[in-house]
Amino acid sequence: VSRYGALLDSTVDRVTDALPLLGVLVFYAEAPTLAVVPGLALIGAVVIPYVRARTEALGATLPGLFMRRPERLVLLIICLLLGELEAAVQVAAPLLLLGTFVLAALNTFGGVLVLRAARVALDASELDTSEFERSRPPSASSTTLRRP
């Protein structure tokens, strides 16, 4: 796989994560209070992979954490399937809204977890780098000679 192919794959993954939630957001657009729920789920679906990718770009690695793409995708499919069921309430597709609310809450929790793990991983990689820098003898190019 080329570097561009990996980039394209990641980009398509993000778009395919966002489009169904955007559809749910549009579905509830006439009720702005309800539209906040899929909006929050959408933000969480973007934040988690962004933090992971950015952490790895900064040279640290993260362990497998909660609410990665497969978990988010399965939960989203369940939400969309629940949207077909009727309930005796005044809200359109209430089970879709409930499932999207659960997705939003879990994405928020997952986002907090990935940020905390990223901080630990980045702090650890900084310590490793600084220990490496201290143990390395200074090179001639890194020292400057000044004449009086």
Catalytic positions: 13
Q: Name the DSSP letter for residue 92.
A: S
Residue range 76-97: average pLDDT? 84
**What residues contact residue 20 under an 8 Å CB cut-off, 6+ apart?**
76, 80
Q: Name the DSSP letter for residue 62.
A: -
**pLDDT over threshold 60, residue 116:** yes
CA angle 8, 79, 39 (to 5 degrees): 65
Backbone angles phi, psi at 34, to 5 degrees: -75, -30
**pLDDT over threshold 70, residue 131:** no
Q: Name the DSSP letter for residue 55.
A: H
0.95 surpassed by pTM:
no
Q: Which residue has the higher pLDDT, 26 or 69?
A: 26
Tens digits of per-residue pLDDT, 27-72? 999 999 999 999 999 998 899 889 988 998 899 988 887 777 888 8
